[in-house]
Amino acid sequence: AARPDLAGRHVVVSAGGTREPLDPVRFLGNRSSGKQGYALARTAAARGARVTLVAANTGLPDLAGVDVVQVGTAVQLREAVLKAASDADAVVMAAAVADFRPATYATGKIKKKDGQEPEAIVLVRNPDILAEISADRPRPGQVVVGFAAETDDVLANGRTKLARKGCDLLVVNEVGERRTFGSEENEAVVLGADGSEIPVPYGPKEALAETVWDLVVPRLG
């Protein structure tokens, strides 16, 4: 049975993967299904929180009792998360946000030209939403949680990323082509800025979500 230990709290969760458009028919994207973020939103609502879920291209059905904001790109995700974060007690960034976007958007479909090599795609940096929220804390004292998808040196890369982003907790999961992204299960280590390291064994994404809230609750002011 769920404990109402998030009652009276507002939490913001991001889910899914951003799509960075190249032209009207193409985008740069990633394999996030949004399932981990939805599991975080569902479990927070069950624990009594008011939940804002910022969802990027998940195709998942809305959750009862959760305020869902649909976005497409990293820039849109940033705007929606910052808006909701202004009165949030906790922000959890489970979305896979593109670090770069195409420098230009072609308003007409990009065509191949006979006998010519393809043109290179020039990228520019997207804003780092997690780093920005960690540094600015739109609401003083709010707890900020990041996720990190790593393919190797998972713990070492996680520690470096936690320090660089400045969040309170970083959930590090190892990803592979058929692992974590899109699956029903996950396995992770939750790193704390206080040096803590909580392993979460392979299991349903809901179980990892519950552990995240278990670690957020005692950090709330």
Q: Is residue 216 a contact residue for ligand PMT (CB under 6 A)?
A: no
Minimum separation from the CB atom of position 182 to ligand PMT (A): 4
Q: Is residue 97 a contact residue for ligand PMT (CB under 6 A)?
A: yes
Minimum separation from the CB atom of position 109 to ligand PMT (A): 27
Q: What does the H/E/C string look like for the chain?
A: CCCCCCCCCEEEEEEEECCEEEECCEEECCCCCCHHHHHHHHHHHHCCCEEEEEEECCCCCCCCCEEEEEECCHHHHHHHHHHHHCCCCEEEECCECCCEEECCCCCCCCCCCCCCCCCCCCEEECCCHHHHHHHHCCCCCCEEEEEEEECCCHHHHHHHHHHHHCCCEEEEEECECCECCCCCEEEEEEEECCCCEEEEEEEEHHHHHHHHHHHHHHHCC
Q: Is residue 142 a contact residue for ligand PMT (CB under 6 A)?
A: no
Listed ranges 5-13, 33-41, 111-119, 135-143: which one lies at the site for ligand PMT (CB under 6 A):
33-41
Q: Is residue 212 a contact residue for ligand PMT (CB under 6 A)?
A: no
Instruction: Give the type of residue at 215.
Output: L
The one among 80, 175, 209, 215 contacting ligand PMT by CB under 6 A? 175
Q: Is residue 129 a contact residue for ligand PMT (CB under 6 A)?
A: yes
30 labelled catalytic:
yes
Listed ranges 3-11, 28-36, 63-71, 105-113: which one lies at the site for ligand PMT (CB under 6 A):
28-36
Q: Is residue 182 a contact residue for ligand PMT (CB under 6 A)?
A: yes
Q: Is residue 95 a contact residue for ligand PMT (CB under 6 A)?
A: yes
Q: Pick the catalytic residue from 30, 57, 126, 186.
A: 30
Instruction: Give the type of residue at 187.
Output: E
Minimum separation from the CB atom of position 45 to ligand PMT (A): 17
Residue 114 CA neighbour count, 13 Å, CB half: 0
Binders of ligand PMT among residues 102 to 121 (CB under 6 A) are: none
Q: Is residue 74 a contact residue for ligand PMT (CB under 6 A)?
A: yes
Q: Is residue 67 a contact residue for ligand PMT (CB under 6 A)?
A: no
Residues involved in catalysis? 30
